[in-house]
């Protein structure tokens, strides 16, 4: 079993990842700017932030895997990319880093345009482009650290939480859609995909898309 730390562990994606990891028997640390009153039994909760890298590194000591589920929106807009890059430079090289991105950076089709470049809502473009920048930083880094980057389906989010089915499809660089062209995955099944990747790595230093 691994020691897994989840940054943004009380947010939509983060809390599902925390719950799935605990259910599978891992040691789980949930890190967030404020500790939620509604906690997953079996997880350890601490206050921490990407804006304090030295303090965060101390809290993450001993972790095997660090998952960032922090979205660059609100007060964090423009701050996730530089601080994740800073964190990546100071974590022990033995730590695997996972990042939950957005659908915007995935491709519409093989060799095709990015989702963010095709009829993408203006309200979410800044967030999508910042997470694409996070991916570019990971792809360019030279330390040899193992990492993975997950693009959820287009309909992923707290307004459409869904339920756990335990199933999902992986689409490589291309956004996953169903026979009707819809793109969706529940919070719980995104967590299933993340924990499957942690337990049985298939995407070393790669990104991948997930959906139904």
Q: Would you kindly state where each structural domain of the chain is located, as residue ranges?
A: 3-211
pLDDT > 90 in the chain, percent: 91
- For range 7-13, the mean pLDDT: 97
Average pLDDT over the chain reads 96
Q: Residue 36: what pLDDT? A: 82
- For range 47-60, the mean pLDDT: 96
Closest-CA residue to 92 (of 129, 124, 65): 65
Q: Residue 159: what pLDDT? A: 83
Reported confidence tier of residue 158, pLDDT bands at 50, 70, 90: confident
CB 22 within 8 Å of CB 1 = no
Question: 50 phi and psi, to 5 degrees?
Answer: -65, -15
For 3-211, the fitting CATH number among 3.90.79.10, 3.30.559.10, 3.40.50.720, 3.40.50.11260 is: 3.40.50.720
Measured between alpha carbons, how far is residue 72 from residues 24, 76, 84, 101, 177 in Å?
Answer: 29, 5, 11, 10, 25
The token duo for 66 is 């660090």
Q: Residue 141: what pLDDT? A: 87
């Amino acid at each position: 079993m691994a020691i897994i730390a989840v940054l943004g562990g009380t947010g939509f994606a983060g809390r599902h990842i925390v719950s799935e990891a605990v259910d599978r028997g891992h040691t789980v640390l949930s890190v967030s700017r404020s500790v939620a009153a509604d906690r997953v039994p079996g997880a350890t909760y601490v206050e921490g932030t990407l804006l304090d890298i030295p303090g965060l590194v101390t809290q993450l000591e001993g972790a095997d895997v660090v998952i960032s589920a922090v979205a660059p929106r609100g007060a964090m807009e423009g701050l996730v990319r530089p601080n994740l890059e800073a964190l990546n430079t100071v974590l022990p090289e033995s730590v695997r880093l996972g990042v939950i991105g957005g659908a915007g950076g995935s491709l519409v089709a093989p060799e095709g345009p990015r989702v963010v470049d095709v009829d993408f809502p203006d309200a979410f473009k800044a967030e999508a482009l910042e997470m694409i920048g996070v991916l570019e930083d990971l792809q360019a880094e030279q330390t040899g650290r193992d990492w993975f980057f997950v693009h959820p389906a287009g309909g992923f989010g707290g307004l459409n939480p869904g339920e756990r089915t335990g199933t999902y499809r992986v689409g490589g660089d291309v956004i996953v859609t169903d026979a009707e062209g819809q793109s969706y995955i529940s919070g719980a099944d995104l967590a299933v995909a993340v924990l499957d990747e942690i337990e049985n790595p298939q995407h070393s230093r790669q990104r991948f898309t997930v959906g139904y």
